[in-house]
Amino acid sequence: MKALSQVREKSSGDKPSDVMTIQEMVDAAKEDEEVLSGAKAAYFTVNCFCSWVFVPTDLLERQMYYLACPANKKKMIEESEGRYFCESDGKYYDTADRTYNFSIKISDFTGTVAVSIFGADGAAFTGMPASEFSKI
């Protein structure tokens, strides 16, 4: 299994280079109120394994991807075949981008945490873009 960092490189400066355990990551996140409240994202490098993947039992209720507006990546609603409405900008589009949004649990010898996987990280995790995944 490839590490996500080997598959997809992030721009420099948006994650620490030191490898942490999950417990160290949790402790570091607890020190930042904005991270705890969800107002700010945090990036950590951990050696871990995926111990659980959310797989919806009712695919009509929730999928591992959503229809995203090509202009702003916000949620869209398919109103009819080939016609999509963006809830954010109030415009109609002929296309929608399928974009990953799902949860997994990662584990190491110090613990387990749930994390959300979005966009390109989902493609790195599954090995395919959401547009291909949606056809399975």
Q: Note the pLDDT tens digit of each residue in 52-81.
A: 998 877 766 678 999 999 999 999 999 988
Q: What is the CATH number of the domain that holds 118?
A: 2.40.50.140
- Confirm whether 5 is domain-assigned: no
Domain check: are 66 and 119 in the same one? yes
Domain check: are 88 and 104 in the same one? yes
The tally of domains found in the chain comes to 2
Domain check: are 24 and 76 in the same one? no
Which residues constitute the domain of residue 36?
Answer: 12-47
DSSP assignments along 9-63, one per residue: PPPTTSS-SSEE-HHHHHHHHHT-HHHHHTSS----EE--EEEEE---S-TTT--
Give the predicted TM-score (pTM) of the model: 0.75
Domain check: are 40 and 97 in the same one? no
- pLDDT by residue (tens digit) across 77-119? 999 888 999 999 999 999 999 999 999 999 999 999 999 999 9
